[in-house]
Amino acid sequence: MLDAHAHIERGSYTKEWIDQFVQEAQNTGIHELHLLEHSFRFVEFRHLYNGVGQHKEAGKYQRKWLATKFPLSLEAYKAFVTKIRKVQYPIEVKYGLEICYFPEHEREIRELVSDGDWDFLTGSIHWIDGFGFDHPKNIPIWQKSDVDMLYHRYYELMIQAVRSNIFDFIAHPDSIKCFNYYPTFDLNNIYIDLGKAAKKHRVSMEFNNGLFINYGHKELGLNQKLLEIFIRENINVITASDAHKPEDVGKCIREAKEVIQECCTRMRR
């Protein structure tokens, strides 16, 4: 029972705060817990987001959003992780980062994480050429956007992230469905390309429950077609709650494991 994605951003860097996550993990039967922080928490990553506020329609809102971010230094987080690793918890706890991937900043990202202080690095696509597609305030932009183009670009960026060899995991690899906008074309060939890239570069893919938990999405985790392709390619599919508070740790992980197992069983028939 693995929860590979739980954010600690809503509390302070204290043992008492981490204890709450670990306790809930135990309550829900989790044996291994991955705690992380978003890259937009740290001032060292600020320049990666320069293009975000330049989006012609979403820029104004996104600039306001960015103005509230980057409150900490990466060194403070590293110091806390070094300290908290000394605590002996009854389950395995690992510490890492979720990094927004921007292809033009690959070199800078690699330099920022080159010290190897992390147990894992998770890459994610939250921005499509400056468009924060999963921000609720951007729904009106979705309504007048070229949805096919957004899907093409989203997966193009994700495949680049996989091929960068920076990340161990890719977060929520179909989160572009967040507001139930879907393309007019079949995604099968794109999914196959993503699966083959993940296999070649040995990158794990999340079965992430975040849209189900935080957005009220009707589908738990990955869509079945993408899950089937990952299984066929022998990709390591890892379960993740995408918790942003202790009480969501482990949420729907057991159900996610059941969905994955059912898919494996069905494909073996």
Give the number of other CB atoms < 10 A from CB of residue 192: 14
Give the pLDDT confidence of 47-57 residue by residue, as tens digits: 999 888 778 88
Total domains in the chain come to 1
Domain span at residue 110?
2-268
Cα–Cα nearest to 141, from 179, 100, 110: 179
Q: Is the pLDDT of residue 22 over 90?
A: yes
CATH, residue 91: 3.20.20.140
Mean local confidence (pLDDT), 221-249? 97
Q: Is 136 exposed, middle or buried (0-12, 13-18, 19+ CB in 10 A)?
A: exposed
Task: Take residue 233 and report the two structure tokens written for it.
Answer: 């390619």
Give the pLDDT confidence of 109-167 residue by residue, as tens digits: 999 999 888 999 999 999 999 999 999 888 999 999 999 999 999 999 999 999 999 99
What pLDDT was estimated at residue 174?
96
What pLDDT was estimated at residue 35?
98
What pLDDT was estimated at residue 54?
79
Q: How confident is the model at residue 106 (pLDDT cuts 50, 70, 90)?
A: very high
**Confidence (pTM):** 0.95
29 near 254, Cβ under 8 Å?
yes
What pLDDT was estimated at residue 160?
98
Cα–Cα nearest to 245, from 215, 220, 213, 217: 213
